[in-house]
């Protein structure tokens, strides 16, 4: 259990570090565009907005990875380890899928009336992330209630 916790927490910190570097590079890129005096096109504004969104979302998702690692001991006494590993795997797989989808959307924007694979990728990643986080949150909440009820007796 301790090894899994440390791996999850390490992944969370690495994820935050990686996307902080990405945000710094994005900031330098935007500053260079501003200094050149080039008027940004609608496409460039779309790109910058999505890349900033990817940076912010991925950093906050990195924090949730760390929180999952920190709170695992509470769940281990109430939920089988196999189910926890499935939930953690689902969460960890959904985050890069969502991030890659947003970045792809920035460079391959959807067009009206056409199916957008990039939007589909980010939507699937986002939905899986939300589902895994909702399940984890509810399990944590109910496990903490169960633990508090057993301590009250």
Strand, coil or helix: 123: helix
- Per-residue pLDDT of the chain (153 residues), as tens digits, is 788 889 999 999 999 999 889 888 887 877 777 778 777 777 778 888 888 888 889 999 999 999 999 988 888 877 888 988 899 999 999 999 999 898 888 888 777 777 888 889 999 999 999 999 999 889 888 887 876 666 655
**pLDDT per residue as tens digits for the range 100-130:** 898 888 888 777 777 888 889 999 999 999 9
Round to whole Å and give the CA distance between 89 and 111.
33
**C-alpha–C-alpha distance, residues 121 and 24, integer Å:** 25
**Neighbouring C-beta atoms of residue 100, cutoff 10 Å:** 15
Half-sphere CA count of 6, side-chain side, radius 13 A: 3
Q: Can you give the pLDDT at residue 81?
A: 86
């Amino acid at each position: 259990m301790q090894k899994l916790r440390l791996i999850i927490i390490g992944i969370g910190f690495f994820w935050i570090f990686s996307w902080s570097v990405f945000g710094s590079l994005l900031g330098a890129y935007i500053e260079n565009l501003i200094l050149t005096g080039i008027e940004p096109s609608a496409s460039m504004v779309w790109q910058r907005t999505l890349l900033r969104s990817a940076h912010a979302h991925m950093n906050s998702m990195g924090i949730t990875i760390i929180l999952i690692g920190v709170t695992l001991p509470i769940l281990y006494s109430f939920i089988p380890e196999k189910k926890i590993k499935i939930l953690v795997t689902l969460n960890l797989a959904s985050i890069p899928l969502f991030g890659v989808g947003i970045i792809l959307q920035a460079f391959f924007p959807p067009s009206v009336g056409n199916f957008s694979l990039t939007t589909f990728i980010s939507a699937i990643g986002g939905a899986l992330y939300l589902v895994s986080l909702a399940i984890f949150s509810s399990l944590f909440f109910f496990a903490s209630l169960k633990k508090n009820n057993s301590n009250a007796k």
